[in-house]
Amino acid sequence: MHIKKAVYVISSPKFESCPAPDRPEFAFIGRSNVGKSSLINMLCNNDKLAKTSGSPGKTQMINHFEIVSNNSQDGKKIVPDKKWYLVDLPGYGFAKVSISSRRKWEQMIENYLRKRENLTQLFVLIDARHSPQKIDLEFLENLKTWNIAFSLAFTKSDKENQRIVSKNVKDFLNAMKKTWQFLPQHFVTSAVKKSGKLKMLDFIGETTDELMDKSTK
């Protein structure tokens, strides 16, 4: 899948303010400072699309981007463009905000995840430089309770020795096996080296194709 266009649409302070749920929606979330904006920009071929910052907790609203993509590989086949939303969600975990503000974010995220009817897939970002973190595993347990479809994207794989990255990914998946019968799809990515980009885009493209096939039956 190739992204032809990515445009910022709106930042919503609450679930009810989001755009009309009239197309597939792929959301991204992770612990603060996990490299979410960098990954989004890498996928969309636009370094200035999602705002990056060295300060955790920069994203504070539900940010929608309209994406136009195409599955044509050789340029000869006429394949209709597909439109979908990419959503940048506030991070969870550490942020220099008050408890009341943090709880407001948490409620906003929960409402979005549980009530957004066109949410097709949630990508949960995990920092590949670290061993399994309790906060990430606990967040995944919430997704299980809420019955949210998700995949894992391990980020910043270029910033650590590859042997350590492989071990951290394996250890995280093994930690999940303690409470999960089936493991989700996972991707190992680097915004710097653009690794994992094609696999993630192909996954999104296949998922949108399946939705279109179902809608035409």
Residue 19, φ and ψ in degrees, nearest 5: -60, 160
For residues 171-197, give the mean pLDDT.
96
> How do residues 48-90 score in pLDDT, each as one tens digit?
888 754 444 456 789 999 999 987 655 556 678 899 999 999 8
**Which pLDDT score, from 0 to 100, does residue 55 have?**
46
**Which pLDDT score, from 0 to 100, does residue 207 have?**
92
SS3 assignment for the chain: CEEEEEEEEEEECCHHHCCCCCCCEEEEEEECCCCHHHHHHHHHCCCCCCCCCCCCCCCCCEEEEEEEEECCCCCCCCCCCEEEEEEECCCECCCCCCHHHHHHHHHHHHHHHHHCCCEEEEEEEEECCCCCCHHHHHHHHHHHHHCCCEEEEEECHHHCCHHHHHHHHHHHHHHHHCCCCCCCCEEECECCCCECHHHHHHHHHHHHHHHHHHHHC
Q: For residue 209, what pLDDT band results from cuts at 50, 70 and 90?
A: confident
Cα 182 to Cα 180: distance, rounded to the nearest angstrom: 6
Q: What domains are defined for the chain?
A: 2-216 (3.40.50.300)
**Which pLDDT score, from 0 to 100, does residue 98 have?**
65
Cα 47 to Cα 191: distance, rounded to the nearest angstrom: 10
- β-pairing, 62-70 vs 82-88, is antiparallel
> How do residues 87-129 score in pLDDT, each as one tens digit?
999 888 755 666 666 777 788 899 999 999 999 999 999 999 9
Cα 36 to Cα 31: distance, rounded to the nearest angstrom: 9
Q: What is the pTM of this model?
A: 0.91
